[in-house]
Chain A
Protein backbone atom coordinates (compact mmCIF):
# COMPACT_ATOMS: atom_id res chain seq x y z
CA UNK A 1 0.00 0.00 0.00
CA UNK A 2 2.17 2.79 -1.20
CA UNK A 3 0.84 6.25 -1.62
CA UNK A 4 -1.67 6.58 -4.45
CA UNK A 5 -3.60 9.52 -5.80
CA UNK A 6 -6.55 9.11 -3.46
CA UNK A 7 -4.38 8.57 -0.43
CA UNK A 8 -3.79 12.24 0.11
CA UNK A 9 -7.34 12.84 1.29
CA UNK A 10 -7.88 12.33 4.96
CA UNK A 11 -4.76 10.24 5.30
CA UNK A 12 -3.59 11.94 8.39
CA UNK A 13 -6.86 11.79 10.20
CA UNK A 14 -7.63 8.08 9.80
CA UNK A 15 -5.62 5.04 8.96
CA UNK A 16 -8.46 2.58 8.64
CA UNK A 17 -12.06 3.40 7.81
CA UNK A 18 -14.77 0.84 7.36
CA UNK A 19 -18.28 1.44 6.12
CA UNK A 20 -21.20 -0.93 6.61
CA UNK A 21 -18.94 -3.89 6.94
CA UNK A 22 -20.86 -7.17 7.20
CA UNK A 23 -19.33 -10.58 7.45
CA UNK A 24 -20.90 -14.04 7.42
CA UNK A 25 -19.43 -17.41 8.26
CA UNK A 26 -21.82 -19.46 6.16
CA UNK A 27 -25.24 -18.35 7.41
CA UNK A 28 -23.98 -16.89 10.63
CA UNK A 29 -23.46 -13.15 10.59
CA UNK A 30 -20.44 -12.32 12.73
CA UNK A 31 -20.10 -8.62 11.85
CA UNK A 32 -23.04 -6.29 11.46
CA UNK A 33 -22.78 -2.92 9.77
CA UNK A 34 -19.46 -2.10 11.27
CA UNK A 35 -18.50 1.47 10.57
CA UNK A 36 -15.38 2.62 12.29
CA UNK A 37 -12.47 5.02 11.84
CA UNK A 38 -9.14 4.28 13.37
CA UNK A 39 -6.58 6.96 14.03
CA UNK A 40 -2.89 6.75 13.24
CA UNK A 41 -0.02 6.49 15.70
CA UNK A 42 -1.93 5.39 18.69
CA UNK A 43 -3.18 2.22 20.22
CA UNK A 44 -6.81 1.39 19.74
CA UNK A 45 -8.06 -1.41 21.90
CA UNK A 46 -10.88 -3.67 20.87
CA UNK A 47 -12.87 -5.11 23.75
CA UNK A 48 -16.08 -7.02 24.19
CA UNK A 49 -17.40 -10.34 25.43
CA UNK A 50 -16.03 -13.51 23.93
CA UNK A 51 -17.59 -14.33 20.56
CA UNK A 52 -18.66 -10.77 19.78
CA UNK A 53 -16.51 -10.60 16.64
CA UNK A 54 -13.29 -8.88 17.77
CA UNK A 55 -11.00 -11.39 16.12
CA UNK A 56 -13.17 -11.45 13.04
CA UNK A 57 -13.02 -7.68 12.64
CA UNK A 58 -9.28 -7.61 13.17
CA UNK A 59 -8.79 -10.33 10.61
CA UNK A 60 -10.69 -8.28 8.05
CA UNK A 61 -8.03 -5.61 8.03
CA UNK A 62 -5.45 -7.85 6.43
CA UNK A 63 -8.03 -9.99 4.65
CA UNK A 64 -6.72 -13.13 6.30
CA UNK A 65 -10.32 -14.13 6.95
CA UNK A 66 -10.55 -15.08 3.33
CA UNK A 67 -8.62 -18.26 3.80
CA UNK A 68 -11.81 -19.82 5.13
CA UNK A 69 -13.97 -20.77 2.20
CA UNK A 70 -17.32 -20.01 3.81
CA UNK A 71 -16.68 -16.33 4.50
CA UNK A 72 -18.69 -13.64 2.73
CA UNK A 73 -17.96 -9.97 3.24
CA UNK A 74 -19.85 -6.89 2.12
CA UNK A 75 -19.13 -3.23 2.68
CA UNK A 76 -15.94 -1.28 2.45
CA UNK A 77 -12.63 -1.10 4.25
CA UNK A 78 -10.33 1.77 3.38
CA UNK A 79 -6.75 1.67 4.52
CA UNK A 80 -4.87 4.86 3.80
CA UNK A 81 -7.87 5.81 1.71
CA UNK A 82 -7.80 2.82 -0.55
CA UNK A 83 -10.50 0.16 -0.52
CA UNK A 84 -8.70 -3.07 0.20
CA UNK A 85 -11.36 -5.09 -1.58
CA UNK A 86 -10.63 -3.33 -4.87
CA UNK A 87 -9.57 -5.73 -7.55
CA UNK A 88 -6.27 -3.95 -8.06
CA UNK A 89 -5.12 -4.46 -4.48
CA UNK A 90 -2.31 -6.93 -4.00
CA UNK A 91 -2.88 -9.14 -0.98
CA UNK A 92 0.82 -9.53 -0.54
CA UNK A 93 1.41 -5.75 -0.47
CA UNK A 94 -1.55 -5.24 1.85
CA UNK A 95 -0.20 -7.77 4.33
CA UNK A 96 3.25 -6.30 4.08
CA UNK A 97 1.98 -2.99 5.39
CA UNK A 98 -0.56 -4.47 7.79
CA UNK A 99 1.26 -6.85 10.11
CA UNK A 100 -0.41 -9.21 12.52
CA UNK A 101 0.49 -10.74 15.87
CA UNK A 102 -1.56 -13.74 16.87
CA UNK A 103 -3.06 -14.95 20.11
CA UNK A 104 -0.76 -17.97 20.33
CA UNK A 105 2.82 -17.02 19.50
CA UNK A 106 3.47 -18.66 16.14
CA UNK A 107 7.11 -18.31 15.18
CA UNK A 108 8.01 -20.56 12.26
CA UNK A 109 9.97 -23.72 13.06
CA UNK A 110 13.15 -22.26 11.61
CA UNK A 111 15.97 -20.31 13.23
CA UNK A 112 15.44 -17.03 15.05
CA UNK A 113 17.51 -15.33 12.38
CA UNK A 114 15.44 -16.79 9.55
CA UNK A 115 12.22 -15.87 11.32
CA UNK A 116 13.17 -12.22 11.41
CA UNK A 117 14.16 -12.28 7.75
CA UNK A 118 11.21 -14.35 6.59
CA UNK A 119 9.11 -11.41 5.46
CA UNK A 120 12.02 -9.61 3.86
CA UNK A 121 12.82 -12.69 1.84
CA UNK A 122 9.24 -12.90 0.68
CA UNK A 123 9.06 -9.34 -0.49
CA UNK A 124 12.51 -8.42 -1.74
CA UNK A 125 14.45 -9.99 -4.59
CA UNK A 126 17.05 -12.50 -3.52
CA UNK A 127 20.17 -10.36 -3.53
CA UNK A 128 18.72 -7.13 -2.17
CA UNK A 129 20.71 -7.23 1.04
CA UNK A 130 24.26 -8.21 1.74
CA UNK A 131 25.11 -10.53 4.59
CA UNK A 132 26.06 -7.60 6.79
CA UNK A 133 22.87 -5.72 6.01
CA UNK A 134 20.79 -8.74 6.88
CA UNK A 135 22.62 -9.13 10.15
CA UNK A 136 21.89 -5.49 10.82
CA UNK A 137 18.21 -5.85 9.98
CA UNK A 138 17.97 -8.75 12.39
CA UNK A 139 19.77 -6.91 15.14
CA UNK A 140 17.67 -3.76 14.76
CA UNK A 141 14.42 -5.68 14.75
CA UNK A 142 15.39 -7.73 17.78
CA UNK A 143 16.60 -4.65 19.62
CA UNK A 144 13.31 -2.89 18.87
CA UNK A 145 11.48 -5.64 20.73
CA UNK A 146 14.10 -5.92 23.48
CA UNK A 147 14.99 -9.44 22.53
CA UNK A 148 18.49 -8.86 21.22
CA UNK A 149 20.32 -9.28 24.49
CA UNK A 150 18.53 -12.55 25.20
CA UNK A 151 19.17 -14.22 21.89
CA UNK A 152 22.20 -12.57 20.30
CA UNK A 153 24.33 -15.66 20.89
CA UNK A 154 21.76 -18.12 19.62
CA UNK A 155 20.41 -16.62 16.44
CA UNK A 156 20.71 -20.01 14.72
CA UNK A 157 18.62 -21.74 17.33
CA UNK A 158 15.18 -22.91 16.43
CA UNK A 159 12.68 -20.19 17.29
CA UNK A 160 10.11 -22.60 18.65
CA UNK A 161 12.46 -23.39 21.54
CA UNK A 162 12.19 -19.89 23.00
CA UNK A 163 9.94 -19.09 25.93
CA UNK A 164 6.43 -17.95 25.03
CA UNK A 165 7.24 -14.35 25.90
CA UNK A 166 10.34 -14.43 23.71
CA UNK A 167 8.36 -16.09 20.95
CA UNK A 168 5.75 -13.38 21.03
CA UNK A 169 8.42 -10.70 20.91
CA UNK A 170 9.95 -12.46 17.95
CA UNK A 171 6.57 -12.53 16.23
CA UNK A 172 6.50 -8.78 16.61
CA UNK A 173 10.13 -8.38 15.56
CA UNK A 174 9.67 -10.27 12.33
CA UNK A 175 7.10 -7.72 11.18
CA UNK A 176 9.38 -4.74 11.63
CA UNK A 177 11.87 -5.21 8.76
CA UNK A 178 8.90 -4.94 6.39
CA UNK A 179 8.21 -1.45 7.74
CA UNK A 180 4.50 -1.99 8.26
CA UNK A 181 2.23 0.99 8.90
CA UNK A 182 -0.32 -0.89 10.92
CA UNK A 183 0.08 -3.68 13.45
CA UNK A 184 -2.88 -5.83 14.39
CA UNK A 185 -2.69 -7.75 17.63
CA UNK A 186 -5.14 -10.40 18.69
CA UNK A 187 -4.89 -10.88 22.46
CA UNK A 188 -1.10 -10.97 22.22
CA UNK A 189 -0.68 -11.51 25.93
CA UNK A 190 -3.22 -14.23 26.55
CA UNK A 191 -0.59 -16.98 26.54
CA UNK A 192 1.84 -15.10 28.79
CA UNK A 193 2.44 -14.81 32.52
CA UNK A 194 2.16 -11.54 34.44
CA UNK A 195 5.74 -10.56 33.82
CA UNK A 196 5.48 -11.35 30.12
CA UNK A 197 2.34 -9.24 29.89
CA UNK A 198 4.12 -6.31 31.48
CA UNK A 199 7.04 -6.55 29.07
CA UNK A 200 4.85 -6.80 25.99
CA UNK A 201 2.76 -3.86 27.16
CA UNK A 202 5.86 -1.73 27.59
CA UNK A 203 6.99 -2.72 24.17
CA UNK A 204 3.70 -1.99 22.47
CA UNK A 205 3.60 1.36 24.19
CA UNK A 206 6.98 2.26 22.71
CA UNK A 207 5.91 1.15 19.24
CA UNK A 208 2.87 3.34 19.15
CA UNK A 209 4.81 6.39 18.09
CA UNK A 210 5.64 4.76 14.80
CA UNK A 211 2.72 2.50 14.03
CA UNK A 212 -1.03 2.38 14.11
CA UNK A 213 -1.81 -0.40 16.54
CA UNK A 214 -5.08 -2.19 17.06
CA UNK A 215 -5.12 -4.59 19.95
CA UNK A 216 -7.84 -7.02 20.86
CA UNK A 217 -7.87 -7.74 24.54
CA UNK A 218 -10.19 -9.38 27.00
CA UNK A 219 -8.28 -7.76 29.82
CA UNK A 220 -9.92 -4.45 30.65
CA UNK A 221 -7.08 -3.35 32.82
CA UNK A 222 -4.80 -3.76 29.87
CA UNK A 223 -7.10 -1.78 27.60
CA UNK A 224 -7.10 1.03 30.13
CA UNK A 225 -3.37 0.96 30.64
CA UNK A 226 -2.18 1.01 27.10
CA UNK A 227 -4.82 2.24 24.69
CA UNK A 228 -5.71 5.79 23.80
CA UNK A 229 -8.91 4.85 22.05
CA UNK A 230 -11.20 1.99 22.78
CA UNK A 231 -13.83 0.18 20.78
CA UNK A 232 -16.49 -1.86 22.52
CA UNK A 233 -18.13 -4.56 20.44
CA UNK A 234 -21.20 -6.57 21.25
CA UNK A 235 -22.91 -9.28 19.16
CA UNK A 236 -21.09 -8.33 16.00
CA UNK A 237 -21.75 -4.61 16.26
CA UNK A 238 -19.66 -1.71 17.38
CA UNK A 239 -21.47 -0.26 20.35
CA UNK A 240 -19.09 2.42 21.42
CA UNK A 241 -15.87 3.97 20.19
CA UNK A 242 -14.07 6.82 21.84
CA UNK A 243 -11.13 7.86 23.99
CA UNK A 244 -10.41 5.00 26.33
CA UNK A 245 -11.05 6.89 29.52
CA UNK A 246 -14.41 8.10 28.30
CA UNK A 247 -15.45 4.60 27.32
CA UNK A 248 -14.52 3.34 30.75
CA UNK A 249 -15.61 6.25 32.93
CA UNK A 250 -18.57 7.71 31.12
CA UNK A 251 -19.91 5.05 28.77
CA UNK A 252 -22.80 6.20 26.67
CA UNK A 253 -24.44 2.79 26.32
CA UNK A 254 -25.84 0.47 28.89
CA UNK A 255 -24.09 -2.59 27.41
CA UNK A 256 -20.74 -0.87 27.54
CA UNK A 257 -21.26 0.10 31.12
CA UNK A 258 -22.32 -3.40 32.08
CA UNK A 259 -19.26 -4.85 30.35
CA UNK A 260 -16.62 -2.47 31.66
CA UNK A 261 -17.94 -2.79 35.16
CA UNK A 262 -17.56 -6.53 34.86
CA UNK A 263 -21.17 -7.59 34.67
CA UNK A 264 -20.68 -9.55 31.40
CA UNK A 265 -18.26 -12.44 31.01
Chain B
Protein backbone atom coordinates (compact mmCIF):
# COMPACT_ATOMS: atom_id res chain seq x y z
CA UNK B 1 0.00 0.00 0.00
CA UNK B 2 2.76 2.42 0.91
CA UNK B 3 4.11 2.00 -2.61
CA UNK B 4 0.97 3.48 -4.08
CA UNK B 5 1.94 7.06 -4.95
CA UNK B 6 -1.53 8.11 -6.03
CA UNK B 7 -3.08 7.31 -2.71
CA UNK B 8 -0.45 8.97 -0.60
CA UNK B 9 -0.65 12.08 -2.71
CA UNK B 10 -4.41 12.19 -2.62
CA UNK B 11 -4.98 11.81 1.04
CA UNK B 12 -3.76 15.22 2.26
CA UNK B 13 -5.77 16.87 -0.50
CA UNK B 14 -8.87 15.18 0.74
CA UNK B 15 -8.14 16.24 4.26
CA UNK B 16 -7.61 19.79 3.13
CA UNK B 17 -10.91 19.75 1.29
CA UNK B 18 -12.63 18.43 4.35
CA UNK B 19 -11.07 21.21 6.39
CA UNK B 20 -12.56 23.99 4.27
CA UNK B 21 -14.97 26.01 6.39
CA UNK B 22 -18.55 24.98 5.98
CA UNK B 23 -19.62 28.29 4.46
CA UNK B 24 -17.01 28.16 1.75
CA UNK B 25 -17.75 24.53 0.87
CA UNK B 26 -21.41 25.46 0.70
CA UNK B 27 -20.50 27.75 -2.17
CA UNK B 28 -17.99 25.60 -4.05
CA UNK B 29 -20.02 22.50 -4.45
CA UNK B 30 -23.13 23.98 -6.04
CA UNK B 31 -20.83 26.00 -8.29
CA UNK B 32 -19.09 22.88 -9.57
CA UNK B 33 -22.39 21.14 -9.92
CA UNK B 34 -23.71 23.99 -11.99
CA UNK B 35 -20.62 24.04 -14.18
CA UNK B 36 -21.04 20.37 -14.92
CA UNK B 37 -24.72 20.83 -15.59
CA UNK B 38 -24.01 23.67 -17.98
CA UNK B 39 -21.47 21.55 -19.86
CA UNK B 40 -24.07 18.84 -20.32
CA UNK B 41 -26.86 21.16 -21.38
CA UNK B 42 -24.68 23.20 -23.68
CA UNK B 43 -24.38 20.28 -26.07
CA UNK B 44 -28.13 20.23 -26.46
CA UNK B 45 -28.17 24.01 -26.54
CA UNK B 46 -25.71 24.19 -29.43
CA UNK B 47 -27.65 21.72 -31.52
CA UNK B 48 -30.86 23.59 -30.83
CA UNK B 49 -29.21 26.93 -31.60
CA UNK B 50 -27.86 25.71 -34.90
CA UNK B 51 -31.22 24.26 -35.79
CA UNK B 52 -33.01 27.51 -35.02
CA UNK B 53 -30.47 29.55 -36.93
CA UNK B 54 -30.96 27.40 -40.00
CA UNK B 55 -34.71 27.43 -39.51
CA UNK B 56 -34.76 31.22 -39.18
CA UNK B 57 -32.90 31.69 -42.42
CA UNK B 58 -35.09 29.14 -44.17
CA UNK B 59 -38.47 30.13 -42.73
CA UNK B 60 -39.57 32.94 -45.05
CA UNK B 61 -39.12 30.65 -48.02
CA UNK B 62 -40.24 27.43 -46.32
CA UNK B 63 -43.53 28.85 -45.09
CA UNK B 64 -43.95 31.29 -47.94
CA UNK B 65 -43.20 31.09 -51.60
CA UNK B 66 -41.69 27.63 -51.79
CA UNK B 67 -43.92 25.01 -53.36
CA UNK B 68 -42.97 22.00 -51.26
CA UNK B 69 -44.43 19.47 -53.67
CA UNK B 70 -42.36 20.85 -56.50
CA UNK B 71 -39.39 21.14 -54.16
CA UNK B 72 -39.34 17.44 -53.43
CA UNK B 73 -40.61 16.04 -56.75
CA UNK B 74 -39.02 18.14 -59.43
CA UNK B 75 -35.57 17.61 -60.83
CA UNK B 76 -35.48 21.13 -62.10
CA UNK B 77 -32.87 23.06 -60.15
CA UNK B 78 -32.44 26.49 -61.69
CA UNK B 79 -31.95 28.88 -58.81
CA UNK B 80 -30.21 31.58 -60.86
CA UNK B 81 -32.49 31.66 -63.88
CA UNK B 82 -33.29 35.20 -65.09
CA UNK B 83 -36.78 34.27 -66.19
CA UNK B 84 -38.11 31.97 -63.50
CA UNK B 85 -36.14 30.34 -60.75
CA UNK B 86 -36.98 26.75 -60.09
CA UNK B 87 -36.10 24.87 -56.95
CA UNK B 88 -36.54 21.14 -57.42
CA UNK B 89 -34.18 19.04 -55.32
CA UNK B 90 -35.23 15.55 -56.37
CA UNK B 91 -32.09 15.10 -58.43
CA UNK B 92 -29.96 16.30 -55.54
CA UNK B 93 -31.71 13.99 -53.11
CA UNK B 94 -31.32 11.06 -55.45
CA UNK B 95 -27.71 12.04 -56.01
CA UNK B 96 -27.03 12.07 -52.29
CA UNK B 97 -28.81 8.76 -51.86
CA UNK B 98 -26.93 7.09 -54.70
CA UNK B 99 -23.54 8.35 -53.68
CA UNK B 100 -24.10 7.42 -50.04
CA UNK B 101 -25.51 3.97 -50.74
CA UNK B 102 -22.84 3.07 -53.23
CA UNK B 103 -20.17 4.41 -50.90
CA UNK B 104 -21.57 2.23 -48.12
CA UNK B 105 -21.78 -0.78 -50.40
CA UNK B 106 -18.04 -0.41 -50.86
CA UNK B 107 -17.06 0.81 -47.42
CA UNK B 108 -19.02 -1.56 -45.16
CA UNK B 109 -17.58 -4.85 -46.42
CA UNK B 110 -14.15 -3.30 -46.74
CA UNK B 111 -14.27 -1.65 -43.34
CA UNK B 112 -15.71 -4.58 -41.44
CA UNK B 113 -13.38 -6.97 -43.23
CA UNK B 114 -10.42 -4.87 -42.23
CA UNK B 115 -11.72 -4.63 -38.65
CA UNK B 116 -12.03 -8.40 -38.46
CA UNK B 117 -8.59 -8.87 -39.94
CA UNK B 118 -6.94 -6.45 -37.54
CA UNK B 119 -8.75 -7.72 -34.47
CA UNK B 120 -8.76 -11.46 -35.15
CA UNK B 121 -5.97 -12.36 -37.54
CA UNK B 122 -3.14 -9.86 -37.45
CA UNK B 123 -0.60 -9.84 -34.69
CA UNK B 124 2.18 -7.74 -33.23
CA UNK B 125 3.88 -5.53 -35.75
CA UNK B 126 1.46 -6.06 -38.62
CA UNK B 127 -1.42 -5.04 -36.39
CA UNK B 128 0.30 -1.88 -35.19
CA UNK B 129 1.31 -0.88 -38.70
CA UNK B 130 -2.21 -1.39 -39.98
CA UNK B 131 -3.77 0.57 -37.18
CA UNK B 132 -1.41 3.50 -37.63
CA UNK B 133 -1.98 3.50 -41.38
CA UNK B 134 -5.71 3.57 -40.93
CA UNK B 135 -5.53 6.38 -38.42
CA UNK B 136 -3.43 8.24 -40.93
CA UNK B 137 -6.12 7.65 -43.52
CA UNK B 138 -8.66 9.22 -41.18
CA UNK B 139 -6.49 12.28 -40.80
CA UNK B 140 -6.32 13.14 -44.50
CA UNK B 141 -8.27 16.37 -45.02
CA UNK B 142 -11.38 16.25 -47.10
CA UNK B 143 -9.98 18.61 -49.71
CA UNK B 144 -7.03 16.32 -50.32
CA UNK B 145 -9.43 13.48 -51.03
CA UNK B 146 -11.20 15.76 -53.49
CA UNK B 147 -7.89 16.46 -55.11
CA UNK B 148 -7.11 12.77 -55.42
CA UNK B 149 -10.56 12.16 -56.88
CA UNK B 150 -10.08 14.89 -59.43
CA UNK B 151 -6.50 14.37 -60.42
CA UNK B 152 -5.95 10.65 -59.99
CA UNK B 153 -9.15 8.67 -59.79
CA UNK B 154 -10.96 10.67 -62.50
CA UNK B 155 -8.38 10.16 -65.27
CA UNK B 156 -8.02 6.53 -64.20
CA UNK B 157 -11.76 5.96 -64.57
CA UNK B 158 -11.72 7.53 -68.02
CA UNK B 159 -8.81 5.36 -69.09
CA UNK B 160 -10.27 2.12 -67.76
CA UNK B 161 -13.96 2.51 -68.58
CA UNK B 162 -13.97 4.97 -71.43
CA UNK B 163 -16.48 7.15 -69.58
CA UNK B 164 -16.68 10.69 -70.98
CA UNK B 165 -16.01 12.31 -67.61
CA UNK B 166 -13.96 10.98 -64.75
CA UNK B 167 -15.76 12.86 -62.01
CA UNK B 168 -19.03 11.06 -61.49
CA UNK B 169 -21.17 8.92 -59.22
CA UNK B 170 -18.63 6.13 -59.12
CA UNK B 171 -15.70 8.39 -58.39
CA UNK B 172 -17.59 10.19 -55.62
CA UNK B 173 -18.67 6.91 -54.05
CA UNK B 174 -15.18 5.46 -54.07
CA UNK B 175 -13.75 8.56 -52.46
CA UNK B 176 -16.51 8.69 -49.85
CA UNK B 177 -16.02 4.99 -49.19
CA UNK B 178 -12.31 5.52 -48.62
CA UNK B 179 -13.13 8.36 -46.26
CA UNK B 180 -15.64 6.28 -44.29
CA UNK B 181 -13.50 3.16 -44.04
CA UNK B 182 -11.21 4.43 -41.27
CA UNK B 183 -14.15 5.19 -38.98
CA UNK B 184 -15.78 1.86 -39.68
CA UNK B 185 -12.50 0.04 -39.09
CA UNK B 186 -11.58 1.72 -35.84
CA UNK B 187 -15.04 1.62 -34.28
CA UNK B 188 -15.61 -1.91 -35.60
CA UNK B 189 -12.29 -3.12 -34.30
CA UNK B 190 -13.03 -1.72 -30.87
CA UNK B 191 -16.37 -3.53 -30.90
CA UNK B 192 -14.72 -6.84 -31.80
CA UNK B 193 -11.94 -6.40 -29.29
CA UNK B 194 -14.52 -5.81 -26.58
CA UNK B 195 -15.94 -9.31 -27.06
CA UNK B 196 -14.58 -11.40 -24.17
CA UNK B 197 -12.00 -13.94 -25.20
CA UNK B 198 -13.94 -16.57 -23.27
CA UNK B 199 -16.57 -16.56 -26.00
CA UNK B 200 -14.01 -17.29 -28.67
CA UNK B 201 -12.55 -20.04 -26.58
CA UNK B 202 -15.95 -21.57 -25.87
CA UNK B 203 -16.74 -21.80 -29.56
CA UNK B 204 -13.28 -23.03 -30.54
CA UNK B 205 -13.45 -25.74 -27.90
CA UNK B 206 -16.68 -27.00 -29.44
CA UNK B 207 -14.92 -27.39 -32.75
CA UNK B 208 -15.65 -24.07 -34.46
CA UNK B 209 -13.20 -22.86 -37.05
CA UNK B 210 -11.91 -19.31 -36.82
CA UNK B 211 -14.31 -18.29 -39.51
CA UNK B 212 -17.23 -19.86 -37.65
CA UNK B 213 -16.17 -18.06 -34.50
CA UNK B 214 -16.29 -14.76 -36.36
CA UNK B 215 -19.65 -15.32 -38.00
CA UNK B 216 -21.49 -17.16 -35.25
CA UNK B 217 -20.00 -15.61 -32.14
CA UNK B 218 -18.25 -12.33 -32.75
CA UNK B 219 -20.75 -10.75 -35.12
CA UNK B 220 -23.77 -11.46 -32.89
CA UNK B 221 -21.88 -10.48 -29.75
CA UNK B 222 -20.53 -7.25 -31.23
CA UNK B 223 -23.56 -6.36 -33.34
CA UNK B 224 -24.32 -3.10 -31.56
CA UNK B 225 -20.80 -1.81 -31.92
CA UNK B 226 -20.56 -2.95 -35.52
CA UNK B 227 -23.86 -1.28 -36.30
CA UNK B 228 -22.60 1.88 -34.69
CA UNK B 229 -19.51 1.65 -36.88
CA UNK B 230 -21.60 1.36 -40.02
CA UNK B 231 -23.90 4.21 -39.01
CA UNK B 232 -21.00 6.49 -38.23
CA UNK B 233 -19.69 5.64 -41.68
CA UNK B 234 -23.02 6.54 -43.23
CA UNK B 235 -23.05 9.78 -41.29
CA UNK B 236 -19.67 10.62 -42.67
CA UNK B 237 -20.79 9.82 -46.21
CA UNK B 238 -23.97 11.89 -46.06
CA UNK B 239 -22.35 14.84 -44.38
CA UNK B 240 -19.21 15.07 -46.47
CA UNK B 241 -18.95 18.14 -48.67
CA UNK B 242 -15.66 19.14 -50.23
CA UNK B 243 -14.58 15.78 -51.53
CA UNK B 244 -17.91 14.98 -53.16
CA UNK B 245 -18.04 18.44 -54.60
CA UNK B 246 -14.83 17.75 -56.47
CA UNK B 247 -15.44 14.10 -57.23
CA UNK B 248 -18.99 13.86 -58.48
CA UNK B 249 -19.03 16.15 -61.50
CA UNK B 250 -21.66 18.49 -60.16
CA UNK B 251 -24.37 17.93 -62.75
CA UNK B 252 -27.94 18.15 -61.54
CA UNK B 253 -29.44 15.02 -62.99
CA UNK B 254 -30.70 11.64 -61.93
CA UNK B 255 -27.88 9.25 -62.80
CA UNK B 256 -28.63 6.48 -65.27
CA UNK B 257 -25.29 4.75 -64.95
CA UNK B 258 -22.42 4.44 -62.54
CA UNK B 259 -20.39 6.85 -64.61
CA UNK B 260 -22.90 9.69 -64.84
CA UNK B 261 -22.00 12.84 -63.00
CA UNK B 262 -24.28 13.68 -60.06
CA UNK B 263 -24.65 16.32 -57.44
CA UNK B 264 -25.40 16.01 -53.75
CA UNK B 265 -27.29 18.22 -51.31
CA UNK B 266 -24.14 19.11 -49.40
CA UNK B 267 -22.16 19.96 -52.50
CA UNK B 268 -24.96 22.23 -53.67
CA UNK B 269 -24.93 24.23 -50.46
CA UNK B 270 -21.16 24.42 -50.42
CA UNK B 271 -20.85 25.65 -53.97
CA UNK B 272 -23.81 28.02 -54.18
CA UNK B 273 -24.09 29.66 -50.79
CA UNK B 274 -21.19 32.00 -51.48
CA UNK B 275 -22.84 33.40 -54.60
CA UNK B 276 -26.41 33.57 -53.40
CA UNK B 277 -27.62 37.02 -52.37
CA UNK B 278 -27.98 37.08 -48.62
CA UNK B 279 -31.63 37.10 -47.68
CA UNK B 280 -32.71 36.28 -51.25
CA UNK B 281 -34.86 33.35 -52.29
CA UNK B 282 -31.93 31.27 -53.50
CA UNK B 283 -30.09 31.86 -50.24
CA UNK B 284 -33.14 30.80 -48.22
CA UNK B 285 -33.75 27.69 -50.31
CA UNK B 286 -30.20 26.59 -49.58
CA UNK B 287 -31.08 26.79 -45.91
CA UNK B 288 -34.18 24.72 -46.54
CA UNK B 289 -31.84 22.12 -48.00
CA UNK B 290 -29.87 22.45 -44.80
CA UNK B 291 -33.03 21.57 -42.90
CA UNK B 292 -33.57 18.57 -45.14
CA UNK B 293 -30.04 17.39 -44.34
CA UNK B 294 -30.77 17.98 -40.69
CA UNK B 295 -33.88 15.84 -40.95
CA UNK B 296 -32.03 13.08 -42.79
CA UNK B 297 -29.27 12.86 -40.20
CA UNK B 298 -31.83 13.02 -37.45
CA UNK B 299 -33.74 10.10 -38.96
CA UNK B 300 -30.56 8.08 -39.47
CA UNK B 301 -29.56 8.64 -35.87
CA UNK B 302 -33.02 7.91 -34.58
CA UNK B 303 -33.30 4.69 -36.57
CA UNK B 304 -29.83 3.76 -35.42
CA UNK B 305 -30.84 4.29 -31.84
CA UNK B 306 -33.99 2.23 -32.16
CA UNK B 307 -32.23 -0.54 -34.02
CA UNK B 308 -29.36 -0.70 -31.57
CA UNK B 309 -31.72 -0.75 -28.61
CA UNK B 310 -34.06 -3.22 -30.25
CA UNK B 311 -31.31 -5.55 -31.38
CA UNK B 312 -29.52 -5.35 -28.07
CA UNK B 313 -32.57 -5.89 -25.90
CA UNK B 314 -31.75 -8.07 -22.98
CA UNK B 315 -34.80 -10.24 -22.83
CA UNK B 316 -34.52 -11.85 -26.21
CA UNK B 317 -31.23 -12.92 -27.59
Chain A interfacial positions (CB closer than 8 Å to B): 62, 64, 67, 69, 91-96, 99-100, 102, 104, 106-111, 114, 118-119, 121-123, 156-159, 161, 171, 174-175, 178
The dominant DSSP class at the B interface is helix
Q: Which residues of B contact A119 (CB under 8 A)?
A: 206-207
Q: B171 to chain A: closest CB distance in Å?
A: 42
Q: CB < 8 Å: which of B196, B207, B217, B315 contacts A96? A: B207
Kindly provide the distance from the CB of A111 to the nearest chain B CB, expressed in whole angstroms. 4
Shortest beta-carbon distance from B249 to chain A in Å = 47
B123 contacts across to A, CB distance below 8 A: 69
Chain A residue contacts of B204, Cβ below 8 A: 64, 67, 95
Q: Chain B contacts of A178 at CB under 8 A?
A: 206-207
Q: A104-B198, A106-B198, A109-B220 are in contact. Are A62 and B205 (CB under 8 A)?
A: yes
CB distance from A175 to the nearest CB of B (A): 7
Q: Are B317 and A156 in contact (CB under 8 A)?
A: yes
Contact B212 A109 (CB under 8 A): no
Chain B residues whose C-beta falls within 8 Å of the C-beta of A99 in the assembled complex: 205-206
Give the number of residues in B that approach A within 8 Å (Cβ atoms).
Answer: 22
Q: Taking the complex as formed, is B201 at the interface, i.e. its CB lies under 8 A from any CB of chain A? A: yes
A159 touches B317 (CB 8 A): yes
Contact B199 A122 (CB under 8 A): no
* B314 proximity list for chain A (CB < 8 A): 158, 161
19 more CB-based (< 8 A) A-B contacts, given A108-B221, A158-B315: A64-B205, A69-B123, A92-B208, A92-B209, A93-B207, A96-B206, A99-B205, A102-B205, A108-B203, A109-B199, A118-B206, A119-B207, A122-B203, A122-B208, A157-B316, A158-B316, A159-B317, A174-B206, A178-B206
List of 7 A-B pairs having minimum Cβ-Cβ separation, nearest first: A106-B198, A95-B207, A111-B317, A92-B207, A158-B317, A100-B205, A119-B206
Is B206 in contact with A106, judged by CB distance below 8 angstroms?
Answer: no
Inter-chain CA distance A95–B206, complex, in Å, is 6
Indicate which residue in A62, A67, A91, A108 contacts B217 across the interface (CB closer than 8 Å): A108
User: Do the beta carbons of A123 and B207 come within 8 Å of each other?
Assistant: yes
- Across-interface contacts of B315 in A (CB, < 8 A): 157-158
Is there an interface contact between B221 and A118, defined as CB atoms closer than 8 Å?
A: no
Q: Which of A102, A114, A122, A161 contacts B207 (CB 8 A)?
A: A122
Assembly CA distance A110 to B317 (angstroms): 5
- The residue on A at minimum CB distance from B209 is A92
* A95 B212 Cβ-Cβ under 8 A: no
Complex CA–CA separation, A121 to B203 (angstroms): 11
Q: Are A111 and B199 within 8 A (Cβ)?
A: no
User: B206 touches which one: A109, A161, A175 (CB < 8 A)?
Assistant: A175
Q: How far does the alpha carbon of A108 sit from the alpha carbon of B196 in the complex, in Å?
A: 10
B112 to chain A, nearest CB (A): 19
Give chain B nearest CB distance to A160 CB in angstroms. Answer: 9
**B202 close to A (CB within 8 Å):** yes
Contacts of A93 in B (CB 8 A): 207
Given known contacts A108-B217, A110-B317, A102 and B206 CB-to-CB distance under 8 angstroms: no
Closest residue of chain A to B313, judged by CB?
Answer: A158
**B216 in contact (CB, < 8 A):** yes
Q: Name the residue among A122, A159, A174 with the largest chain B CB count within 10 angstroms.
A: A122
24 A-B interface contacts by CB (under 8 A): A67-B204, A69-B123, A91-B207, A95-B205, A96-B207, A99-B206, A102-B198, A106-B199, A109-B317, A110-B220, A114-B317, A118-B206, A119-B206, A122-B207, A122-B208, A123-B207, A156-B316, A157-B316, A157-B317, A158-B314, A158-B315, A159-B317, A161-B314, A178-B207
Give Cα A122–Cα B203 distance, bound, in whole angstroms.
Answer: 9
**Bound: A107/B208 CA distance, A:** 15
- A93 and B206 alpha carbons, distance in the complex (Å): 9
- Rounded to whole Å, the gap between the CB of A93 and the closest CB of chain B is 7
